[in-house]
Amino acid sequence: MRFGKFTSTIALAAAAAISLAACGGSDGTAQNADGTITVQIGRAPAFPQFPLYVAEQKGFFTDGGLKPDFIGIKSGPEQTAAQVSGQLDIVDNVPGNLLPIIDKGTDIKAFTVTTKASQFDIIVDKDYPLTAKEGDWKTTMKELEGAKVGVIARGTGAEDIARTLFSEAGVDPDKQAYIATGLPSTTMAAMQNGQIDMALTIEPGITQAVASGLAVEPFSLRAGQGPAELMWPGVVGTVTSQFAKDNPEVLQRYVSVMNKTLTWMRDPANKDEVISLMEKTLSVPSDTAQDLYNNSLDNYADHVALTDDDIKQLNVAAQWVHSVGKTSKVFDAEDFTIKVDESGQSAP
């Protein structure tokens, strides 16, 4: 099954102050009168965050004892500022953004896996002369030497991944032309207009570009085709250390809610409803929603809470982030992760 995911962004909303009702939880968290705990969650209309929409629409948060206050997120720096200030309690992030923040002294921990693999993947203009066999990433990248490369923004994760792909294929990444093309819609427009030959982009751009005949996907990082140093959980759920210390019950409830949500999404009996929710919450056309459902559900984590294997893979991510010059040292994943077991109990 081909993997897929996407992250699009919306403007950062001003966070409203939350007034909690007067009962205190056993771990010090304040509870509402109905026993739920209010939690502020960053969310965008993006494939990794789609389960958050499902959990809200199906009432799984309420069933699990949480009252979510969703706050729109725009960019990494704004997201981090909101999390550190307490405007966001839980937010998804990618290792390439998370570790440089930690390197600057912000004490943030990963505690869940959202997606198994990279959120970025490659598309190439259908008219670009590729001869490599599908899945042969090294030959493909050699043939793309000199191509105009679209990236979401200069100096960010998409460009870092593109540079690594070129370098590992024996192509000098510094001799490539990298062009900031923004999110999927503007990236596809740039390809349509001949401004770029290829792009490292996110869903729904990948699915839409291939389905429309604009581009091909010669290999897929999300399917495990690529250099070993790029194989790690692409999106993780994060909290500040202080929030985790003060609110262990929130982490436990959140893990349980998301496990229930993913189980519901994967049940074939719910296929039509899942596709309908994709169209509604992610603003994608029906055919794209169908493709995402058929090709992409396996890209969500098989388990929500971090496992020992996930932590080992995040060590690979930490080594890669350091290798591209984004951190001053290689961080040990044990130091920036928290384990909560799948039943929602605190792990030893």
**113 beta partners:** 236
260 with 186, same domain: the answer is: no
125 and 151 housed in the same domain? yes
What pLDDT was estimated at residue 29? 56
Q: Are residues 105 and 27 in the same domain?
A: yes
Do 110 and 314 form a contact (C-beta atoms < 8 A)?
yes
- Tell me the average confidence (pLDDT) per consecutive run of 10 residues in the chain, 348 residues long: 34 28 41 92 89 97 96 72 87 91 94 92 97 97 98 89 97 97 91 98 88 95 95 95 94 96 97 96 90 90 94 97 96 96 53
Q: Helix (H, G, I), strand (E, B), or coil: what is residue 236?
A: strand
Q: Which tokens go with 182?
A: 């923004």
On whether both 218 and 129 belong to a single domain, the answer is: yes
- Note the pLDDT of residue 21: 29
Residue 74 confidence (pLDDT): 62
Q: Is residue 76 domain-shared with residue 211, that is, in the same domain?
A: no
d(CA 130, CA 184): 22
According to DSSP, residue 267 is labeled -
238 touches 108 (CB < 8 A) = yes
Same domain for 139 and 222? Answer: yes
Residue at a domain's end among 227, 245, 277: 227
11 domain-assigned: no
Helix or strand or coil: residue 31? strand
Q: Verify that 317 and 251 share a domain, yes or no.
A: yes
Domain boundary residue, one of 192, 227, 262? 227
Segments forming the whole domain that contains residue 214: 121-227
Q: Return the pLDDT at 85.
A: 84
Are 125 and 197 members of one domain? yes
Same structural domain, 145 and 216: yes
Domain count, the chain: 2
For residue 154, what are its two tokens? 């200069």
Q: Which one, of 212, 203, 220, lies nearest residue 278 by Cα?
A: 203
Closest CA to 101 of 252, 338, 318: 318
Is position 161 within any domain? yes
> Is 276 domain-assigned?
yes
Residues 35, 39, 45, 49: is their CA dihedral positive or negative?
negative
Same domain, 98 and 159: no
The answer to whether residues 39 and 90 touch, using CB atoms and an 8 Å cutoff, is yes
Q: 104 and 65: one domain?
A: yes
Contact 152, 181 (CB under 8 A): yes
Rounded to whole angstroms, the Cα distance separating 147 from 167 reads 14
Q: Which of 183, 205, 227 is a domain's end point?
A: 227
CATH code for position 88: 3.40.190.10
- Cα angle 60, 62, 66 (rounded to 5 degrees) comes to 105
* 255's tokens: 């893990």
Same domain, yes or no, for 98 and 130? no
Residue-level pLDDT at 271: 98
pLDDT score for 217: 97
Question: Are residues 86 and 16 in contact, defined by beta-carbon separation less than 8 angstroms?
Answer: no
